[in-house]
Chain A
Amino acid sequence: MKIRTRIVLFSIAVTTAALAVTATLLILFVQKTTVDAIRTTAIADTKNFAVFFMRTKAEERETSKLLGRTYGLYRFRMLAMHEEFTLHNGEEYLYNAFGFAPESVLKTEENGMETEYEPKCHFLEYGGARYAIVIDRARLDGHSYTLSLVRDVTETFARMRRIQWYCAGLTAAVALLAAAVVWIVARNMLRPIESLRRSAADIASGNYRNRIAVRGRDELAALANDFNTMADAVEQHTEALRERNERQQMFINDLSHELKTPVTSILLNSETLLKRRVSEEEQMNALARIYDQGTWLERLSQKLMTLVMLQGEIDRMPYAVSDLIEAVEATVRAGIEEQGMRLLTESDDSVLEMDFDLLRSAVVNLVENARKASEPGQTIRLFAKKQTIVVRDEGKGIPASELDRIMEPFYMVDRSRSRKKGGSGLGLALVREIVEAHRGRMWIESTVGAGTTVTLYFEK
């Protein structure tokens, strides 16, 4: 059930109940006052009538029964409003304008002549009409009479019934009106929820860039805000996933492209050897090319294996950084000095958690890059301090436009030259992977013509 329907139904129930209770109480009050008024008036009228009836003095004390009867009836008839009363002399009705005998209908047990008699008002229905009946006693000329007021109150009761219906109708109408108002108010109040829901559905359907417009400062605005925060997180996540996916796709594309060149060369050269009649020198050249490309493929596969391995966890042990620098130096010094360059190293006595072989190959790679960029006479510096390893050269530098991309797999600033020197374009990508596997970061600063500085920083 929709919230709005629920609110409307609930408010109808509450309003109706409240109105019904009010109306009922009101009706009961009106009824009670009306009945009380009728009762009081009737009793008062009866008493007055009896007093008036008895006030007529008799001349003769003891009269005959017949005379007394005639005289009593005469007195009774002389009084105003006598039409509303019945007159009974203990044996028969001397006057009764109604179709029934009030005393017998009421089955009054008022026998005898108690002095303390207090008349009461009774209601009864007879022949479709409603009557208020009050019975009183009176004495006249030694005779005792029963005076009964029989007052038709049908109309008063009918009016009360009409008031009841009117109240019920009013209750229903007011409840409906209230429901309509609540319906409209609920719609207005729920509108932000509806728009929130729609935006949420929109985001959920994949438009992670969309945000919910936040209006006001109420709970709904807070909810919208929270929702936007969630959408931010989702967007970031999917974006990261998409980027990773794209990077992987690009890596695979680049790899297949990268594999094709050596494979093409191997196939072309072997085809030449197989199908062509060529000089012995050309045969040797073709064989050398096949061998070269084969070794190159082998190196590439080694690097790829390392990359794959780096996706998992690596084993790290504490090693002295100075040992690492020494090991790197042992590998690279000869090559650097052979080309007329200098290598300066420096390290403190700090200790790093590392996979020694992996990190060594990474640093060797960086120093080799520095060597390739340098000219004879220039100096390459390698130093390790605290949590940082720095490789700095004075070589040709990297253009700013290339800096962002050089850590991508297979990226080469000078493609044909790199390939000639045996580069695969995987070097820096590998170094970065190794560094990241050590929970480190790597950044490169470079100025064309002034040299390049590569910094590796490892968290403690």
Chain B
Amino acid sequence: MKNRILIVEDDRDIRESLALNLDLSGYAYVALEDGAEVVRYLENDHRFDLALLDVMLPGLDGFSLMEEMKRYEIAVIYLTAKTDVKSRVYGLREGAEDYIVKPFEMLELLVRIEKILERTGRSRKTLEYRDLTVDTVMHAVWRGGEILHLQPLEYELLVKFIRFKNCTLSRERLLSEVWGYSYFGSTRTVDTHVSRIRRDLNLNIVTVPKCGYRLED
């Protein structure tokens, strides 16, 4: 079951890029451009896990949509060009999970979406990639009916790759996400582990020059 995300953004280009990236990362989405339209839409369909809201919207602004989001228990991330601290504090105090200022990095947004879903207990419990199944509750990996034994680091790495499938992850990001910020190891460590799970689990991890690694379908 894919996580459903509501995109509300009035700029067509940004809306389309968001949609494309969410789709590639395995989310289902609905993209709307008008605040008032959102209210009407939610009356019929409100099974969303998370909403990406622009603040300055035609119809009804993003802050005013918060009520609706609370009513349907949809987590909110504001995506906005408003940099002033007042708006940021207002947005977060009103109950938004996060407040991201434009321009932002797509990968950063995806990471935050994952974290919020995890925090609110809505992230996918089982991840699938080809014949692999990962149970994130039991921390177990199956291939077909057979359980695979992985080192903790290898498991974390695999989960990251599957969660950000089709997405290039830099060595630095992998290092900070999997090993943690306190780890001062070299990116060579990442290379070693990546090539090990690629070989052992037979994963289609592509090395993207100058960027990092990408797990492809």
A→B interface (CB under 8 Å):
256-257, 260-261, 263-265, 267-269, 271-272, 274-278, 282, 285-286, 289, 292-293, 414-416, 419-420
Contacts and interface: CB of A to CB of B under 8 A. Distances in A.
B18 interface: yes
Given A257-B82, A264-B102, A276-B168, A420 B211 contact: no
Interface stretch (B5-13, B40-48, B121-129, B137-145): B5-13
A416 B10 CA distance: 6
Interface string B87-123: 0000000000000001111110000000000000000
Contacts of B163: none
Nearest to B54: A261
B56 to A, nearest CB: 8
A59 to B, nearest CB: 140
B33 A276 contact: no
A261 B14 contact: yes
B154 interface: no
A276 B21 contact: yes
Given A271-B106, A415-B58, A261 B81 contact: yes
Nearest to B169: A275
A403 B33 CA distance: 25
B17 interface: yes
B214 interface: yes
Contacts of B58: 414-416
B104 to A, nearest CB: 7
B13 A274 contact: no
Interface residues of B, number: 32
B195 to A, nearest CB: 20
Nearest to A266: B103
A277 B11 contact: no
B147 interface: no
A264 B211 contact: no
Contact of A261 (B11, B33, B104, B105): B11
A420 B12 CA distance: 8
Contacts of A276: 20-21, 24, 166-168
A274 B14 contact: no
A416 B104 contact: no
A415 B10 contact: yes
Contact of A265 (B13, B56, B82): B13
Interface in B45-90: 56, 58, 81-83
Main secondary structure on A side of the interface with B: helix
Nearest to B33: A416
Given A277-B216, A415-B58, A416-B10, A268 B81 contact: no
A264 B33 contact: no
Given A261-B102, A414-B58, A289 B13 contact: yes
B208 interface: yes
Contacts of B214: 275, 277
14 contacts: A261-B14, A261-B102, A265-B11, A267-B104, A267-B105, A268-B18, A272-B21, A275-B214, A277-B214, A278-B20, A289-B13, A414-B58, A415-B10, A416-B10
A261 B102 CA distance: 7
Contacts of B24: 276-278
A284 to B, nearest CB: 12
Contacts of B17: 265, 268-269, 272, 286, 289
Nearest to B105: A271
Contact of A275 (B11, B12, B20, B168): B168
A392 to B, nearest CB: 28
A292 B20 contact: no
A97 B105 CA distance: 136
A285 B102 contact: no
A292 to B, nearest CB: 7
- What are the nearest 5 A-B pairs in CB distance? A275-B168, A260-B81, A264-B103, A265-B13, A268-B17
A279 to B, nearest CB: 10
Given A277-B216, A414-B58, A415-B10, A272 B106 contact: yes
A390 to B, nearest CB: 31
